[in-house]
Structure formats: structure tokens, C-alpha cells
């Protein structure tokens, strides 16, 4: 039993005295309700904490010692993801996350009874039934005090499909790991670096399972197996463990590097490796790894009804090497799925890994570390958020965690742990919006108590301390195998409830050599043995002529979906063809998981391959009425799921048309941008023309003023010269009668000189005014050029501003024109 399930501590009782702020909403689109702010000094609760789920695109790490409330916080985060429609793959090494499946909308005592520890009831002096009632009352009160009601628990149960996988065991849903040795998707095979990473992780995991800790460069075992996998996968060929063993004994190449294979790794020594691998394959304990559902990330993220899936992979029953084997191969599959997705800016799915101790160390490089690093660096672009949790911060590679934007930090056990966490925070704080104060952060970490966490988000200006909310899932602690089997029986683990059945592969005795006779109004098709429906990894028919083909029945549905632009009325038609298998007791095909058929309908064969055998036909597939129902269901599925991605330029307010290529749309944007630029340039030029005309008028007037002042100065200079001449002549005459007049003329001449000097100053001032105006005019012309250049740059940026829109069809735009039976070759038994 986890601590939070035993009862309220003194601290929790004190905190509950802070009334829940019912005026604050706990749900909002794209927000995760994680708790309430908490003041460390006064120990009081504050506002509701709503975490922006989009921030998980830059990933998160949760660190806290045992008893800190770390598991409760992470389960709350996953609950919120389920409510928001975000699927999650949950890797659970210790078994704590199995509690995600203990969601009971009624929260009755009998709901909790199977999951309680009888010894804990005895320690509390209660019968098991009394203890169950006490726990039910505790959980109801806790939920109420955190603003949550039974309706919210009901929405959680209905919002997502929960599944509990037990790799290497059939206690829960078993997982077949042999499928993970098949060739990766083309997106990985075509990327040499990605393929090398995939090969390295797979080989290291496989060798670790047989007790060989191999160096990828120095180990002959690792080099040989890597060459085998690389050789097969690069050619698009699948492998299974039996093929690997045979190829170890008889490699499909004669040398490795420049050395002959016999010199590099002699046959006798290769036989020892083959024997070890064969012992693994033959061991009864390994049979559980060969059974169950193959790892199909698309299927594990979405249920057939479209709901997100919360898949918990619990591994408490496995050894360390088995855990590393499973986790490494699962992470490989996630990386391959990730690289096959279109880019997105929204949160598409979560990968959560609890207790990452040993999988992401700071020095060593176990097989799981490389795919984790790849996801931390690249997953954001594909909408995958990664959340890691640990109680051992000293075992984390903080350089690898530099790509993580959100840190949830709880109570830590040692100063060494606190120092490593502060080191990690300093590493990510460089790109944060707020400042990082190590001393302040250290004091906050020292004051954290149970269920109190520091939230450090690089997108926020300040760190936040908060108290975690009450989980809707019942925290019973790690479940035993018997309890996991009980989940199966009650239908809570994602497996069929007791009494239900699923279809299985038929035995050889049930196969027939002729296809069943069908009513004439049920068309029948056959996929060519060397061309199967896309995504059917079980089909092995490239050499069908040398062996026996087994056909499996499926429902073939094909329809035309017309996408019509609401603005222009332009349309584009897309044909969607799917083949869906049908279990005997299933009412409808699972079109979400159905195989996509790439062949044109006219390329399908009318007759089966010679000497083929056939699976039994489910009774529903032989009834024409079933196909009428499936036709309607397929049309509804097309209406719900099919979209056409269009491009939109929000600045130019232009949207691509159905059928218009990205290049054509960009060309149209260029034309719109050119028109906008011409219009805006005319507006700018008009504004500057007004200013220019005003300045040019001032320049003209200044030039006139200068000319006028220059002319006046010239006249004044002439008059002054005359005055001086007259004065000098009078002085030479020497007549006494003219002495007074001569003195007067001299005074006048001196005044003329003064006026001449003034006039020259006026000319200079007029010239300065003219020069200043000409400079203003030149400056105005430069401003106009700058404005036009900025306009061109702005328009160039606007052309590249694109966002995605998804056009949905109308029901009237969908026509299902083909519905029938198709036989898919799914197995080839080669002749000797």
C-alpha cells in the first residue's frame, strides 16, 4: 500500500483546512490539473495548478525519494492525459503504475476489497471488509476536498481504454517480442544512422538476455549479429530468432571487414553462440515471449473505437536482463513509429517511464539509453512527449536531460541527490525565461515535504511549489500476479472478461483446400501472393511458388471521398481501400486497425493461387446482410476519420485548394504577395510623395530667397562703391563750402558698408537654409527606400508563414462503391 492510501498525515490534515477554491475551474482544454500552489512558509494552499500539456513536447522529468508522492503525481498526470484524449505508453519496472487500472466510478467498499492487503487491515485492528469501507470513505473525502466528483472518475473510465501488459508472462496481456526482430519501417531503414542505432540496440538487448555484456566494437558476437541484422533489414527482410540462429551457423556473407568470416569468427566458436541462442529459444520460460500481441504502436495508442489507450507495461516479475531486453525493443519500436509520423506541433502521445534507474546512467550506455536519447532530441517534432521518473537522481545522465523543459522535484534523500538535481537544473536554465538562483533553489528543495513538489518549467519566469491533487485511481501499491489475473477476469486489464473468447489461428485440421461457396451478390477477391495489404507484417509470400499459401478472410471495403473547398467549390477525390479481419464474435470490423490496400481494385486477382488452403470463414462473412451493414459502417468511418490536409497562410488569408500541390500553392502565394507588395508600395510611395512635394516647394522657395538675397547684396555693393567714390572726389576738391557735405557722404558710405555686410550675412543664411532643406530631401528619399526594403522583407516572410488545416468531407461526398470478401495470404510453409 502506498503511503497516500493509508490515511491522511498531520500535514495533509492541516492543508485540507484550506477550503478548495470552487470558483476556480479544474478542467480546461489542453490543461492538466495537478494540484494547488503551496506556500512553504505558512504551509497553506493557494490557486489551482493547471499545467499546459503542450509543454510536455519538451519532455518532463519527475524526481523524488520513496514516500515523496512521486507516483501519485505521475498517475495524476497520466489521468489528465486520458481525460484530454492523449494516449500513453507507460513503462513500469516496479509495478506501481498498475494502479492506473484501479478506477472505480462508484468507489464502493467492495470495489476496493480485492486490492487490499489483509495484513494491513490486521495492523489497523480491522476486518478486511471494515478496512475496505474505511479506504473507500478516505478516497471519497480526498477527492471531494480536491474538487473532484464521481462524474469525473466516470469520464476518466470512459475517456480511455486501459490495458495492462505483462511481457514474459500471461498474467496480464502477453506481448510477443519476436515481431520486434522484423525489419523496421522504411523511415528507419532509409536512414543509415537510425538503422545503425536500431541494430545496435536490438543486438545488445538480445545478447544481454543470454548473459553477454558485449561491446559493439570489440565483441565478435556483437559485430556478427549486427552484420546479420543490418544485412537483412537493409534489404527489407524480416528475421526471427530461429533464422538468426541458422545465420550465425551459416552467415549469408563470406567476410566481415577485410577478414574472411572463418578467420574473424570460426565456425566452432559461432556454434557456441548459436547454442546459447538456441537454449534461449528452447527454454520453457521463453515461450511466454513468443505469445500474445505483437508490438504495434499505432494499435497500442488507439482503440478500435477511436479512444486513446493507456497501455501499462509492468515488469516487476522480470529479471534485470529481461527488463532491459523488453524496454530496449519497445523503445526501438516507438522510435520507428515516431519517424513514420508526419510532423506536428501538438501533443500526439506520451511515453512515460517510471523508475528509470539503470536505463539512463551518466557513464555507461545500456541498450535502452540510445533510443531514449533519440526521443529526447527528436520526439518533439513528431508530437511525442517523454516523461521520465526516478528516485535515484545520481544515476541520471544530466547531459542527456538537457533537452527536458519541465522538472517536477519532490523530497530528496541526500545532499548528493540535491546537488545532482541542482546541477541538472543549471544545465537547462540557460534557455529558460526566468533567472536561476542556485541558493534560492537549494533552500526550496530543502523545505519540500511529502506531496509537495517544485515545478521548474523553462517556459515560466519563476519556479512554483505545489501540493499534488488526490488521484482518481486507487493507490493500492504494486499488484501481485494473482491480482493482475483478477483484473483479467473482471475485464479491467484490456483483456476480454472471463467467459469471452477471441479468435485464434486455426489448426491445420480446420484449413480447407477450397474457398467457401458464397452468395452471388458477395464479390470475392484475392490479394496476389507477392503483394499483400500494406502493414501485414505476418505475410511472408515473396517466394510463394516454392511453398504452401494459407489465405485468411477479410472484409474489403473501398470508397471515394470527395473533399470540396467551401470557398471555391473546387474538389479532389481520394479512394480509400481497407481490408479488415473479423473475429467470430465481433459485430463489426475494426476499420481503424484494418490493413490499407495499396493495389488498385482492378489489380486484385479473381482466383486463388494454386494449392492454397483457406482459413474457416466466420459465419457473418457469408451473409449478404452483413455486408450491407458493413458498407454503412465503412461510410461512417470514412466520414469520421478521413481528412485532407490543406495549407493556409494566415497573413495573406489564403488557403490551398483540394488537389493543389504545395508548389502550386506557394506559387499562388508569391503572386498574392507580389500584388500586396505592389499595393503597399504604392501606398508608401504616395505618402512619401506628399512629403517630398512639400520639401521640394520649400527648396524652390529657398533657392528663390537665396537668389533674391544675392541680387540685393550685389546692388548694395554697387551703391556702396558709388558712395565711396563720391566721398573721395569731394575730399579732393578742397572747397570749404563742401566740407560739411563731404563728411555727410562719408557717413553714408560707412552705413552702406555696414548694410552690405548685413546683406552678405543674409545670403549666407539663405544658402544654409537651402542646404538643410536639400539634406532633408535626401534623408526623405533614404527613408522611402528603407520603407520599401522593409516591405519587401516583410512580404518575403509572409509568404513562408504556413500552417496546416484539415478539410473534412460531407456525408454526401462519400460513396462506398465496393464491399466484399478478400482473401489475404498470411503464411507460407516452404517445401523441403
Using one digit for the tens of pLDDT, what is the confidence trace for 717-747?
Answer: 666 666 656 666 666 655 544 455 555 555 5
Contacts of residue 355, defined as CB under 8 A and 6 or more positions apart, other chains included, come to 93, 94, 96, 389, 390, 391
Contacts of residue 266, defined as CB under 8 A and 6 or more positions apart, other chains included, come to none
For CA atoms 680, 685, 691, 693, the dihedral sign is negative
Query: Does 12 score more than 60 pLDDT?
Result: no
Going by C-alpha positions, the residue among 482, 425, 485 that lies closest to residue 455 is 425
The angle, 0 to 180 degrees and rounded to 10, between the axes of the packed helices 369-378 and 320-339 is: 30
pTM greater than the 0.75 cutoff: no
SS3 210: coil
Over residues 513-535, mean pLDDT: 72
What was the pLDDT predicted at 417? Answer: 86
Q: What is the mean pLDDT of the chain?
A: 81
- 777-815 per-position pLDDT tens digit: 788 788 878 877 877 777 676 666 777 777 888 888 899
SS3 567: coil
Superfamily of domain 1-174+292-495: P-loop containing nucleotide triphosphate hydrolases (3.40.50.300)
Which of 237-246, 622-631, 677-686 is predicted least confidently?
677-686
The angle, 0 to 180 degrees and rounded to 10, between the axes of the packed helices 70-83 and 150-159 is: 70
- 697-719 per-position pLDDT tens digit: 777 776 777 677 667 666 666 66
Over residues 635-642, mean pLDDT: 89
What was the pLDDT predicted at 545? Answer: 40
Q: Name the band, by pLDDT with cuts 50, 70 and 90, for residue 616.
A: confident
Radius of gyration, alpha carbons of the chain = 40
Q: Name the band, by pLDDT with cuts 50, 70 and 90, for residue 749.
A: low
Query: Does 165 score more than 90 pLDDT?
Result: yes
The angle, 0 to 180 degrees and rounded to 10, between the axes of the packed helices 267-282 and 220-234 is: 70
* Residue 446 CA: distances (Å) to CA of 38, 411, 415, 439: 15, 8, 9, 11
Is the distance from CB of 450 to CB of 68 less than 8 angstroms?
yes
- Cα–Cα distance between 826 and 804 in angstroms, integer? 38
* Residue 51 CA: distances (Å) to CA of 37, 54, 136: 12, 9, 28
Query: Does 315 score more than 60 pLDDT?
Result: yes
Q: Name the band, by pLDDT with cuts 50, 70 and 90, for residue 423.
A: confident
The CB-side HSE value for 88 (13 A sphere, CA atoms) comes to 35
Q: How many residues does the chain have?
A: 832
Q: Name the band, by pLDDT with cuts 50, 70 and 90, for residue 4.
A: very low
Query: Does 310 score more than 90 pLDDT?
Result: yes
Query: Does 555 score more than 80 pLDDT?
Result: yes
- 209-226 per-position pLDDT tens digit: 888 888 888 899 999 999
Going by C-alpha positions, the residue among 385, 384, 383 that lies closest to residue 344 is 383
Kind of pairing between the strands at 547-564 and 88-92: unpaired
Contacts of residue 554, defined as CB under 8 A and 6 or more positions apart, other chains included, come to 533, 579, 580, 581, 582, 594, 595, 821, 822, 823, 824
What end-to-end distance do the CA atoms of the chain give, in Å? 58
Instruction: For residue 29, count CB atoms less than 10 angstroms from its CB and return exposed for 0-12, middle for 13-18, buried for 19 or more.
Output: exposed
Over residues 344-356, mean pLDDT: 92
Query: Does 115 score more than 60 pLDDT?
Result: yes
* Residue 243 CA: distances (Å) to CA of 25, 236, 239, 249: 58, 15, 6, 10
Percentage of the chain beyond pLDDT 70 is 82
726/600: higher pLDDT = 600
Which of 207-216, 495-504, 639-648, 750-759 is predicted least confidently?
495-504
What was the pLDDT predicted at 58? Answer: 94
Percentage of the chain beyond pLDDT 90 is 33
Query: Does 585 score more than 50 pLDDT?
Result: no
Cα-Cα-Cα-Cα torsion 385, 386, 391, 397, nearest 10 degrees, comes to -130
Is the distance from CB of 89 to CB of 300 less than 8 angstroms?
yes
43/801: higher pLDDT = 43
Q: How many whole angstroms from its chain centre is CA 386?
A: 9
Which of 157-166, 313-322, 610-619 is predicted least confidently?
610-619
- Cα–Cα distance between 69 and 2 in angstroms, integer? 9
What was the pLDDT predicted at 396? Answer: 82
What was the pLDDT predicted at 7? Answer: 44
Kind of pairing between the strands at 88-92 and 349-353: parallel
* Residue 434 CA: distances (Å) to CA of 398, 438, 465, 540: 20, 13, 15, 57
Query: Does 756 score more than 60 pLDDT?
Result: no
Query: Does 414 score more than 70 pLDDT?
Result: yes
For CA atoms 37, 39, 43, 44, the dihedral sign is negative
Which of 272-286, 292-306, 425-439, 733-747 is predicted least confidently?
733-747
What was the pLDDT predicted at 755? Answer: 60
The CB-side HSE value for 416 (13 A sphere, CA atoms) comes to 6
- Cα–Cα distance between 221 and 223 in angstroms, integer? 6
Going by C-alpha positions, the residue among 461, 447, 379 that lies closest to residue 409 is 447
Report the 10 Å Cβ neighbour count for 118: 10
What was the pLDDT predicted at 489? Answer: 76
What was the pLDDT predicted at 501? Answer: 40
657/467: higher pLDDT = 467
Instruction: For residue 457, count CB atoms less than 10 angstroms from its CB and return exposed for 0-12, middle for 13-18, buried for 19 or more.
Output: buried
What was the pLDDT predicted at 754? Answer: 61
Report the 10 Å Cβ neighbour count for 148: 22
Most confident of 137-151, 519-533, 556-570, 774-788: 137-151
Query: Does 401 score more than 70 pLDDT?
Result: yes
Report the 10 Å Cβ neighbour count for 90: 25
Over residues 1-23, mean pLDDT: 53
What was the pLDDT predicted at 499? Answer: 39
Is the distance from CB of 252 to CB of 231 less than 8 angstroms?
yes
What was the pLDDT predicted at 758? Answer: 62
* Residue 649 CA: distances (Å) to CA of 228, 724, 808: 49, 82, 19
Report the 10 Å Cβ neighbour count for 620: 20
Over residues 520-546, mean pLDDT: 58
The three-state DSSP-derived secondary structure of 613-682 is EECCCCHHHHCHHHHHHHHHHHHHHHHHHCCEEEEEECCCCEECCCCCCHHHHHHHHHHHHHHHHHHHHH
Going by C-alpha positions, the residue among 363, 350, 351, 455 that lies closest to residue 400 is 363
Going by C-alpha positions, the residue among 597, 600, 595, 601 that lies closest to residue 582 is 595
The CB-side HSE value for 573 (13 A sphere, CA atoms) comes to 9
Over residues 301-314, mean pLDDT: 88
Query: Does 458 score more than 70 pLDDT?
Result: yes
Q: Across-strand partners of 256?
A: 259
E strands, 231-361, where?
A: 255-256, 259-260, 293-294, 309-314, 349-353
Over residues 202-209, mean pLDDT: 88
SS3 572: strand
Contacts of residue 94, defined as CB under 8 A and 6 or more positions apart, other chains included, come to 316, 354, 355, 478
Q: Name the band, by pLDDT with cuts 50, 70 and 90, for residue 397.
A: confident
What was the pLDDT predicted at 466? Answer: 96
Which of 189-198, 294-303, 656-665 is predicted least confidently?
656-665
Going by C-alpha positions, the residue among 411, 506, 391 that lies closest to residue 468 is 411
Which of 209-213, 359-363, 403-407, 725-729 is predicted least confidently?
725-729
Contacts of residue 581, defined as CB under 8 A and 6 or more positions apart, other chains included, come to 552, 553, 554, 555, 589, 594
* Residue 651 CA: distances (Å) to CA of 670, 673, 791, 796, 803: 13, 10, 14, 11, 11
Q: Across-strand partners of 312?
A: 90, 164
Is the distance from CB of 408 to CB of 401 less than 8 angstroms?
no
For the chain, percent helix, then strand, then coil, each to nearest 5? Answer: 50, 15, 35
Amino acid at each position: 500500500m502506498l503511503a497516500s492510501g493509508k490515511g491522511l498525515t498531520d500535514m495533509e490534515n492541516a492543508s485540507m483546512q484550506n477550503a478548495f477554491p470552487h470558483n476556480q475551474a479544474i478542467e480546461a482544454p489542453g490543461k492538466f490539473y495537478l494540484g494547488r500552489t503551496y506556500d512553504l512558509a505558512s504551509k497553506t494552499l493557494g490557486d489551482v495548478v493547471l499545467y499546459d500539456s503542450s509543454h510536455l513536447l519538451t519532455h518532463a522529468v519527475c524526481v523524488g525519494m520513496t514516500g515523496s508522492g512521486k507516483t501519485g503525481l505521475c498517475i495524476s498526470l497520466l489521468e489528465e492525459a486520458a481525460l484530454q484524449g492523449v494516449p500513453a505508453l507507460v513503462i513500469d519496472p516496479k509495478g506501481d503504475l498498475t494502479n492506473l487500472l484501479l478506477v472505480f466510478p462508484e468507489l464502493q467498499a467492495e470495489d476496493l476489497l480485492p486490492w487490499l492487503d489483509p495484513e494491513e487491515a490486521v495492523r489497523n485492528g480491522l476486518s478486511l471488509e471494515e478496512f475496505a469501507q474505511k479506504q473507500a470513505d478516505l478516497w471519497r473525502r480526498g477527492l471531494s476536498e480536491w474538487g473532484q466528483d464521481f462524474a469525473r472518475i466516470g469520464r476518466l473510465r470512459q475517456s480511455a481504454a486501459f490495458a495492462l501488459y505483462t511481457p514474459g508472462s500471461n498474467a496480464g496481456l502477453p506481448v510477443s517480442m519476436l515481431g520486434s526482430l522484423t525489419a523496421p519501417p522504411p523511415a528507419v531503414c532509409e536512414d543509415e544512422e537510425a538503422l545503425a542505432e536500431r541494430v545496435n540496440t536490438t543486438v545488445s538487448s538480445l545478447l544481454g538476455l543470454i548473459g553477454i555484456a558485449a561491446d559493439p566494437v570489440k565483441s565478435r558476437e556483437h559485430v556478427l549479429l549486427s552484420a546479420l541484422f543490418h544485412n537483412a533489414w537493409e534489404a527489407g527482410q524480416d528475421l526471427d530468432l530461429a533464422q538468426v540462429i541458422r545465420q550465425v551457423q551459416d552467415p549469408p556473407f563470406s567476410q566481415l571487414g577485410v577478414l574472411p568470416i572463418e578467420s574473424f569468427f570460426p565456425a566452432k566458436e559461432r556454434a557456441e553462440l548459436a547454442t546459447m541462442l538456441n537454449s534461449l529459444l528452447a527454454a520453457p520460460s521463453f515461450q511466454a515471449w513468443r505469445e500474445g500481441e505483437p508490438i504495434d504502436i499505432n494499435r497500442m495508442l488507439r482503440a478500435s473505437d477511436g479512444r486513446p489507450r493507456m497501455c501499462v507495461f509492468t515488469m516487476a516479475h522480470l529479471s534485470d536482463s529481461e527488463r532491459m531486453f523488453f524496454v530496449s525493443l519497445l523503445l526501438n519500436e516507438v522510435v520507428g513509429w515516431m519517424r513514420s509520423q508526419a510532423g506536428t506541433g501538438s501533443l500526439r502521445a506520451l511515453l512515460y517511464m517510471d523508475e528509470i534507474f539503470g536505463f539512463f546512467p551518466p557513464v555507461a550506455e545500456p541498450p535502452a539509453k540510445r533510443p531514449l536519447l533519440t526521443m529526447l532530441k527528436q520526439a518533439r517534432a513528431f508530437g511525442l512527449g517523454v516523461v521520465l521518473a526516478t528516485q535515484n537522481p545520481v544515476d541520471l545522465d544530466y547531459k542527456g536531460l538537457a533537452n527536458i523543459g519541465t522538472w517536477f522535484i519532490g523530497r530528496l534523500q541526500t545532499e548528493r541527490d540535491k546537488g545532482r538535481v541542482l546541477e541538472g537544473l543549471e544545465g537547462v536554465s540557460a534557455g529558460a525565461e526566468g533567472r536561476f538562483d542556485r541558493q534560492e533553489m537549494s533552500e526550496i528543495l530543502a523545505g519540500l515535504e511529502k506531496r509537495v513538489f517544485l515545478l521548474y518549467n523553462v517556459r515560466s519566469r519563476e519556479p512554483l511549489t505545489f501540493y499534488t491533487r488526490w488521484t482518481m485511481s486507487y493507490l493500492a501499491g504494486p499488484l501481485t500476479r494473482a491480482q493482475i489475473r483478477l483484473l483479467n477476469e473482471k475485464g479491467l486489464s484490456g483483456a476480454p472478461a472471463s467467459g469471452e473468447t477471441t479468435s485464434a489461428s486455426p489448426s491445420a485440421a480446420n484449413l480447407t483446400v477450397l474457398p467457401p461457396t458464397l452468395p452471388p451478390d458477395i464479390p470475392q477477391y484475392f490479394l496476389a501472393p507477392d503483394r499483400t495489404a500494406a502493414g501485414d507484417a505476418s505475410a511472408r509470400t515473396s517466394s510463394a511458388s516454392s511453398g504452401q499459401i494459407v489465405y485468411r478472410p477479410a472484409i474489403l471495403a473501398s470508397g471515394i471521398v470527395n473533399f470540396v473547398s467551401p470557398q471555391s467549390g473546387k474538389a479532389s477525390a481520394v479512394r480509400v481501400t481497407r481490408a479488415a479481419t473479423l473475429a467470430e464474435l465481433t459485430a463489426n470490423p475494426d476499420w481503424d486497425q484494418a490493413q490499407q490496400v495499396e493495389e488498385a481494385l482492378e489489380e486484385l486477382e479473381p482466383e486463388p493461387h494454386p494449392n492454397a488452403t483457406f482459413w474457416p470463414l466466420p459465419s457473418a462473412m457469408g451473409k449478404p446482410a452483413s455486408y450491407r451493414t458493413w458498407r454503412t459502417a465503412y461510410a461512417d468511418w470514412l466520414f469520421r476519420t478521413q481528412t485532407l490536409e490543406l495549407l493556409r497562410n494566415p497573413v495573406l488569408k489564403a488557403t490551398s485548394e483540394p488537389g493543389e500541390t504545395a508548389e502550386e500553392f506557394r506559387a499562388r502565394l508569391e503572386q498574392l504577395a507580389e500584388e500586396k507588395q505592389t499595393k503597399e508600395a504604392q501606398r508608401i510611395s504616395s505618402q512619401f510623395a506628399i512629403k517630398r512635394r512639400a520639401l521640394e516647394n520649400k527648396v524652390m522657395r529657398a533657392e528663390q530667397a537665396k537668389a533674391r538675397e544675392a541680387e540685393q547684396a550685389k546692388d548694395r555693393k554697387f551703391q556702396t562703391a558709388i558712395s565711396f567714390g563720391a566721398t573721395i572726389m569731394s575730399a579732393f576738391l578742397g572747397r570749404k563750402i563742401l566740407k560739411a557735405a563731404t563728411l555727410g557722404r562719408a557717413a553714408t558710405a560707412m552705413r552702406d558698408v555696414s548694410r552690405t555686410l548685413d546683406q552678405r550675412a543674409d545670403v549666407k543664411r539663405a544658402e544654409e537654409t537651402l542646404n538643410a532643406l536639400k539634406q532633408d530631401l535626401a534623408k526623405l528619399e533614404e527613408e522611402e527606400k528603407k520603407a520599401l526594403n522593409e516591405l519587401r522583407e516583410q512580404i518575403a516572410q509572409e509568404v513562408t508563414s504556413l500552417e496546416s488545416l484539415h478539410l473534412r468531407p460531407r456525408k454526401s461526398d462519400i460513396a462506398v462503391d465496393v464491399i466484399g470478401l478478400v482473401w489475404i495470404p498470411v503464411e507460407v510453409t516452404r517445401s523441403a
